[in-house]
Amino acid sequence: MEDCTFVIFGATGNLAKIKLLPALYRLDAADRLPAGLRVVGFGRRDWDDARWRQQVHEWLADKQPDATVLARFLERLHFYQGDLGDEAAYGGLSTFLAEAHYSPNLIFYMAISPADFGRVSRQLGAVGLSDEDGGWSRLVIEKPFGYDLESAESLNARLNRDFQESQIFRIDHYLGKGTIQNVLVFRFANLMLEPLWNRNYIDHVQITHSESLGTEGRAGYYDTSGALRDMIQSHLLQLLTLVAMEPPANLDAESLRDEKVKVLRSIRPIHQSAVNAHAFRAQYVGGRVDGAKVPGYLEEPDVPPTSVTETYAAFKLYIDNWRWRNVPFYLRTGKRMRKNNSMVSIRFKHPPQQLFRETHIERLKPNWILMNLQPHDCIRLEMQVKQQGLEMRAETTRLDASYCGIAQAQLDAYEALLLDVIDGDHSLFLRYDEVSWAWRVVDPVLKVWSTERDFIHTYPSGTWGPKEAERLLERQDQRWRNTLEEEGGE
Ligand SMILES: NC(=O)c1ccc[n+]([C@@H]2O[C@H](COP(=O)([O-])OP(=O)(O)OC[C@H]3O[C@@H](n4cnc5c(N)ncnc54)[C@H](OP(=O)(O)O)[C@@H]3O)[C@@H](O)[C@H]2O)c1
């Protein structure tokens, strides 16, 4: 792995504190960082190296750091004082990097407000820091990438003035989770699934991400975003592409991303007049989560009293290709739901012949494949077997694969993603056409919702969301699958 200089814009912010520095420290502890890697924190505070190192030391205190590794890690850190809005700061940064003789391979990590992405990249370009003459130069962008299709296009055009697509790494930390990559391994490393993975055998697919937390002090940001932008446009559509894609020619970044884009392009567009048949939104009101009383969304600090921002969104999509035509994909996410859970639930069709009709088995339950991503890394198959006893009765049995029941290891998605940036591997990062097609899927809904500002459905905190969302389900025998434990539909 080549040496490089890792510049963090927003070195004093929340993302740097909770994700970036801990991930870099853990990589150092695992001996995965190149010896000559330096971390330069760019910030406007009147700090020097010693002050920033002290801050990072405090941030890492609860990670039980090893004293020797910590000392080595802190040595890598340097602080560069500058204001994002000050053009001279970029020239100063360029001189600082050159005079310090750090590696000319540069990573610029945008841990700053999305509103600043464009101007920072422009200034980096203006002082030659995006050039790749002496070494490579990479730009890492946090989500959200745009606010809708139009703003994403314009941001991309701004970035492309100075950075080529091959230099840009758009992070979706969801894709860095090992469990998400397990979807690919499960599908493409097991021959027995592939013949069944299509419209002939699959009734429908559900992709659910539920959180018991509310907006946790980020309501100011959340109120301008909402569940559809925050989760569905990005993470859940990404997950859908992994579940639905064709096997790629190989595992290189372009082959993988080509197949994901094909899925997004095949999603049947939602006409504005059909938005209500395909999408549902709601907002939480007060309730109880894990026995504790919690306030409603409108009572959270920084939320305008008339806000109709959705904290819950459900979507029904169809993928118009040979494999999936007319199989509904239900995507659903919510805050202040009963439990934290991320799960892909695949319901199979009933066998073509009701062979057991004359027995006590009146109606067989269908097979399900459940891929639980959080809080457990688990794949479960639900099958019907005969109950013990003289009668011909069936019951559901569960075949558990992988590490069901064990809480996820302490590894964080950011570690894998940061290593990939250093390595120049784009596989787990979003190419611009993925972002753009994902915006096209949700844009009609965003447009309609932005005009309907006088009413939003509600659901009590601590529940699985509003009952009315069931209207998206195509048939009466389909129902939401919330957790691994609960039984599937008929
Ligand atoms: N936090 C998360 O968990 C999370 C998760 C996913 C994505 N993100 C994305 O990550 C990015 C950063 O989020 P965050 O939560 O870390 O935000 P944050 O806590 O508000 O941090 C913003 C950082 O930008 C710095 N900054 C602001 N204006 C500046 C200026 N004029 N000159 C120099 N520095 C300036 C701040 O410096 P001061 O400390 O001096 O104010 C701070 O270090 C955003 O794009 C966000 O959407 C965050």
Domain 5-142: which topology? Rossmann fold (3.40.50)
| Residues whose CB falls within 8 Å of the CB of residue 148, separated by 6 or more in sequence, listed in order | 439, 443, 446
Show me where the domains of the chain are located.
5-142, 175-411+426-472
Pairing of strands 168-171, 329-334: unpaired
Determine the Cα–Cα distance for residues 372 and 413; give it in Å rounded to an integer: 16
pLDDT bucket at 362, cuts 50 / 70 / 90: low
pLDDT at 411: 62
Helical ranges in 4-86 per DSSP H: 14-15, 21-29, 49-60, 67-75
Check if CATH label 3.30.360.10 holds for domain 175-411+426-472.
yes
Rounded to the nearest integer, the mean pLDDT of the chain is 93
Q: Is 84 in the pocket of ligand 1 (CB under 6 A)?
A: yes
Which of 235, 278, 376, 426 is flagged as catalytic?
235
The pair of three-digit structure tokens given for residue 233, joined into one six-digit string: 């446009």
pLDDT, mean of residues 89-115? 96
Instruction: Give the three-class secondary structure for 195.
Output: helix
Highest mean pLDDT among 199-208, 374-383, 409-418: 199-208
Percent of the chain residues topping a pLDDT of 70: 97
Taking only the tens place, the pLDDT of each residue in 17-35 is 999 999 999 999 999 999 9
Angstrom CA distances, 156 to 47, 56, 148, 159, 232, stand at 33, 32, 12, 5, 20
pLDDT bucket at 409, cuts 50 / 70 / 90: low
pLDDT, mean of residues 170-180? 86
pLDDT, mean of residues 200-227? 94
Nearest in space to 378 (alpha carbons), one of 337, 408, 419: 408
For 296-355, where are the E strands, in sequence order?
A: 312-317, 329-334, 341-348
Checking if the pLDDT of 5 tops 50, the result is yes
Residue 271 designated active-site: no
Q: Compute, in angstroms, the gap from residue 84 CA to the centroid of ligand 1.
A: 11
User: For residue 154, how many other CB atoms are within 10 A of its CB?
Assistant: 13
Smallest CA separation from ligand 1 atom 39, residue? 12
Lowest-confidence segment of 32-41, 228-237, 318-327, 476-485 by average pLDDT: 476-485
pLDDT at 407: 53
Ligand 1 binding pocket mutation candidate from 40, 87, 109, 112 (most atoms within 8 A of CB): 112
